[in-house]
Amino acid sequence: AGTLIEVHEHERNRGVAAARNTGISVCNHELVALLDSDDVWLPNHLETLWEAMSASNAKVVQSRERWFRKGRRVNPKQYHLPPQGDIFEPSLARCLVSSSAVLFEKALFEAVGRYDPRLPACEDYDLWLRMALVADFGLADQETIEKDGGRSDQLSLRYWGMDRFRVFALVKLLDEALTDGQAELVEETALGKLEVLHAGAAKRGKVEDAEGYARWVDAIRRRDRTARGCSDRQTMSLPGALENAGFDWVRRADDPILSALREAE
């Protein structure tokens, strides 16, 4: 049967994105399933996903989850329920794919560019959006995961202002070969999140942060809309879509978004 579990360690903590990239890169199988430390696969999980993938011919499928908070069963909001088919537009506002509930082809993962190791959080939001651009998502309409929220060690609680990372992911997405309609949706979503971040910073008296978010808004509105499909996802320090939009200022140490990425390195 071979070895069921192999452990691969980095010499230092490089974050969840790098850990997943390493794990998937050494995987010798065509399909990949993930499991977060605070989630539990139910016994039929992998079988259910495999059957859904085989029935739909989808390259990526997910199942439903049972949610718990501090040990008590809770019901997810309607907008948290996993969608299927073309999920790109609904996934812009929030992450609608659970890492522990998904099964995908390794070839698809490699084709869209892996996890972005620059992101200390929301790396899954970033990846699923890139997958949703090129593939429909299948759905196994069964609860095969138990997810326990509210723990202090969860990334969603460790980092404040998670939309900072989502904005970075959205701006990167503008480097992809989007249709005009998709690009407009991405811009609108990024601008909406930046407006909330700006308002929050201004309310708390964080003037430099508010000015930083305003610069992102200005750059997005003035970007070169013809520069698409030319990004180098793993080596570019800045999203290419904004290179011609007066982006010299982003190398400033006080930028509220890029400084958050640097702090996590």
Rounded to whole angstroms, the Cα distance separating 248 from 46 reads 48
The answer to whether the beta carbons of residues 148 and 39 sit under 8 Å apart is: yes
pLDDT confidence of residue 70: 81
How far apart CA 196 and CA 205 sit, in angstroms, is 14
Domain tally, the chain: 2
- Residue 213 burial (10 A CB sphere; 0-12, 13-18, 19+): buried
Distance between CA 265 and CA 253 in Å, rounded? 14
pLDDT for residue 226: 52
119 & 24 share domain: yes
- Could you say which residues of the chain have pLDDT below 50? 1, 157, 228-237, 244-246, 249
CATH assignment at residue 121: 3.90.550.10
State whether 20 and 39 are in the same domain.
yes
Domain-located, residue 9: no
Nearest 5 degrees, angle CA 133-CA 155-CA 241? 35
Residue 1 lies in a domain: no
Of 159, 156, 157, residue with least CA distance to 99 = 156
The DSSP element (H or E) to which 173 belongs, if any, is helix 163-173
Which run of H or E residues covers position 33?
A: strand 31-33
> Considering the entire predicted model, what is its pTM?
0.86
Q: Do 60 and 76 sit in the same domain of this protein?
A: yes
